[in-house]
Amino acid sequence: MIDFRERRKGIRVPFKNLGEALQKTALQGHTEQSAENWLEERGIGEGYRREVLNAWVRARYSQNLGTITAFGALLAADHAHSVGVDVAALWAAMAEKSGATLRLGAEVQGIERGSWGGWYVNSTSSPLLEMYDTVVIATPWGLSPLTQSLEQQLQPEDIPRNVSYVDQHITLFVSTAKISNDEFGGVDTVPGLILTTPCSWEYRNISGYTGRDGLGQPPFWVLSRIGESYGDMGKREYVYKVLSADKISDDLIQRWLGRGKDFVVVWRGYEKAAHSLLLPNQESAFSKIQLDQGLWYTGSIEEAATGIDMGAVMGENVAALIVDQWGKEGKYLSEDRRRPIDEE
């Protein structure tokens, strides 16, 4: 882990190709092999892999060690403390400090190349086409409704890859009771964070599967107590969050709490693309970061890792590349004089 952290910190921006950036820090091999094989080759026993590392990987990515890359598994283990943490406030603070003009809720309906070197953007926030020097596609390519029209404007070799995703159910419920040890036997007090992993006799058979096929006997990936509140009568209530492959029934929640214990399900959600599947990439070929003049893509990082840390690295990288490109073009040129600049 110490070696992995140091290598990951060695990724320096700007870089024009993710594969080359990983190769420079000797992390390329971490994306080419499954974590199960990578760890086994280094003498990590199956018991530790299954009981500890696999549980963290499932909590973060809904995968098992047999399908996820070594890079993804080490990221999950290195950020074990962040499971269940809500980072929405951090994103909001970053946007506010940046001074950017936010148009939350606006839908981008079309992006077209302009003859002047930039892009026209059609969105619900404006009745007119708006002109932009630079556009950053910051959503995974296969999940954006814009990709079909954009692909017609790009060269075939510049079109990003479609990444496979795993779905996930999210359940939030509130109760005055803590989780009962009747359902989770063997401990006096059930911890506030429960992770799961396949039983020893089923691990080898399902370690190579993702999603519900790789879940095994446990009915969820993570069950966590994420906060406390006080109800109308002043009673302390515990807020729980469940991440699972299937919908969690009221009966199952009742079993966790104990018969007769009160609870209220406050939200059930379903994310069709909760996590990208971090499958071994033996060719070490990642989607391009610059798709066209003034058109950039941050989603290639989804092919290697997901999460706020690596996402921030790619965001910083694209920003640095854009500033560098603007410096070459001359940011004070008028729109009718601006021309694409060839790579050196």
Domain segments of the chain as ranges: 21-77, 105-162+282-305+318-329, 165-276
CA gap 276, 299 in Å, rounded: 11
Q: Which tens digit of pLDDT belongs to each residue from 226-249?
A: 998 887 777 899 999 999 999 999
pLDDT of the residue at 344: 46
pLDDT at 16 over 50: yes
Structure pTM?
Answer: 0.85
Choose between 333 and 258: higher pLDDT.
Answer: 258
In angstroms, rounded to a whole number, what is the distance separating the alpha carbons of residues 86 and 64? 23
Rounded Cα–Cα distance for residues 295 and 291 (Å): 6
Mean of pLDDT values over 216-224:
93
pLDDT value at position 268?
96
Segment (H or E) for 301: none
Least confident among 90-104, 150-164, 211-225? 90-104
In tens, the pLDDT along 271-299 reads: 998 888 999 988 778 999 999 989 999 99
Model pLDDT for residues 257-270, shown as the tens digit of each residue: 999 999 999 999 99
Are 51 and 95 a contacting pair, CB within 8 Å? Answer: no
- Confidence label for 334 from pLDDT (cuts 50, 70 and 90): low
- The tens digit of pLDDT for each residue in 54-67 reads 999 999 899 999 99
Q: Is the pLDDT score of 197 beyond 60?
A: yes
Rounded to 10 degrees, what is the CA torsion of 111, 114, 117, 121?
-30
Per CATH, domain 165-276 is 3.30.70: yes
Strand order of the sheet with strand 236-244?
Answer: 193-195, 222-230, 236-244, 165-175, 264-276
Number of H helices, E strands in the chain: 11, 11
